[in-house]
Structure 1
Amino acid sequence: MKIFTVFLILLSSIFVNAQQVAVLKYNGGGDWYSNPTAMPNLVQYCNENLKTQLDKEVATVEVSSIDIFQYPFIHMTGHGNVVFNEADIQNLRNYLLSGGFLHIDDNYGMEPYLNKELVKLFPQQELIELPSTHPIFHSYVDFPKGLPKIHEHEGQRPQAKGLFHEGRLVLLFTFESDLGDGWESPEVHNDPPAVRKKALDMGANIIKYVFTN
């Protein structure tokens, strides 16, 4: 009954405030606020190219807040430590099971801290690497090799992993790619236009997939 009630809250919020996305504020000392221009730029790109009507103001929401259910798409990033307490875990799990979607983009260094927290979120599941044939890589622009590489860092291959509930992708974790850096304004990282476009195209793929599946 509780999950059903949460579902109704999320469903009503989709109709009332369907076009706003949010950045997740979490505890542990990690810089959840990194890449401040990334999501606003992605929103603008999607509005221009996908013809979405996303609110240009990107919200900030805390993991344990009931406000999380207002946003069908939530983005999380950072470089360091992540800690979810029991209230965070319960709230985030309810959010995902009732129709929400969380995209976590490792801004380099987040993965080892995040993995131990995701085990708490879905103890019976493991992150599954998405094959290059998954629709999320083809919903707007085709990425035949899967997740693109935006920043090198340690030179490892980019990976996109997911958690599923009843066949639905509810959480996407992208790392060794650094999409968020590619979404940032040009002067922040001085990425070539082609690299930024590749990052934004993949971001548009994620947005389109989430809002049409």
Structure 2
Amino acid sequence: MKNLTIYLILTITFTCLNLRSQEIAILKYQGGGDWYANPTALPNLIKFCNDNIGTTLINKPKTVEVGSSSIFQYPFLHMTGHGNVVFSDQELENLRNYLLSGGFLHIDDNYGMKPYVTREIKRLFPDMELEELGADHQIFKNTYSFPKGLPKIHEHDGQRPQAFAISKNNRVILLFTSESDLGDGWEDPTVHNDPAELRKKALQMGANIITYAFKN
């Protein structure tokens, strides 16, 4: 009964926050991975969304820690990096409550995160499976069309890009993008010298993720 009460309170709180705010935060985690990677990525994505799809996102994303209650102030969390990720039991509980009460987490593998992230997601939701989203999922067509699914932005191992999800009640609550490197495509043009068309695809896919998170 206690857990149910906490869950209901968090759900109501989240509903109220969603009605009055559109904010994104960067998720800071432990384990040695560079959670701070791609510093220009989110500001550029926010500007693209505000300019092109009518969002009113706050220009400078805040940084929040996994175990902090402040994550409930942000309907959308973004997580990236190259290396190890470790969640404590308290952080797992906090993040689980956040996601089950209406939050959304996008994890973008900047290359090297996958084995650590998948391990921690299994701890986060031991009774749920990461499932690959098909190219017909609405996240690939709600604003911009990606008929082949997740676009390939940077080449690493020659593997195809994949989008995996944890869903509840037919709504994606956790999205893990792998072998795509969307965040690199969101960064300033001079960081990776990506062609304009590739950066455009990355930003458009990011806009689709934002649209999905705030409208579903």
- Smaller-chain TM-score bracket: over 0.9
Q: Residue type of the partner of 1:10?
A: F
Preserved contact between residue 150 and residue 182 of structure 1 (Cα < 8 Å) = yes
Q: Which residue of structure 1 lines up, in the alignment, with residue 37 of structure 2? A: 34
Q: Percent of pairs identical after alignment?
A: 60
Aligned mates of 1:113, 1:182 — CA distance in 2: 23
Q: Residue type of the partner of 2:10?
A: V
Deviations along 1:135-155, one digit per CA (max 9) or x if unpaired, are 000011100000000000111
Q: Does 1:133 align with 2:118?
A: no
My pick for the range that moved more, 3-12 or 49-58, is 3-12
Q: Which residue of structure 1 lines up, in the alignment, with residue 89 of structure 2? A: 86
Q: Does 1:51 align with 2:54?
A: yes
Q: CA deviation at 1:15?
A: 3.3
Q: How does 1:165-204 map to 2 (within 5 A)?
A: 165-204=168-207
2:107 to 101, 104, 108: 104
Query: Could you list the runs of 5+ residues in structure 1 that have no partner in the other structure?
Result: none
After TM superposition, where is structure 1 displaced by more than 3 Å over at least 4 residues in a row? none
Aligned mates of 1:125, 1:71 — CA distance in 2: 24
Q: Which residue of structure 1 lines up, in the alignment, with residue 13 of structure 2? A: 9
Preserved contact between residue 20 and residue 57 of structure 1 (Cα < 8 Å) = no
Aligned mates of 1:70, 1:80 — CA distance in 2: 27
Deviations along 1:132-188, one digit per CA (max 9) or x if unpaired, are 000000011100000000000111000000001122110000010000000001010
Q: Does 1:142 align with 2:149?
A: no
Q: Residue type of the partner of 2:140?
A: F
Q: Which residue of structure 1 lines up, in the alignment, with residue 26 of structure 2? A: 23
Deviations along 1:91-144, one digit per CA (max 9) or x if unpaired, are 000000000000000000000011110011110111000000000000111000
Preserved contact between residue 137 and residue 205 of structure 1 (Cα < 8 Å) = yes
Query: Could you list the runs of 5+ residues in structure 2 that have no partner in the other structure?
Result: none
Q: CA deviation at 1:212?
A: 1.3
Aligned mates of 1:62, 1:24 — CA distance in 2: 6
Q: How many residues align?
A: 212
SS at match of 1:83: coil
Root-mean-square deviation (Å) = 0.8
Q: CA deviation at 1:51?
A: 1.2
Aligned mates of 2:170, 2:189 — CA distance in 1: 37
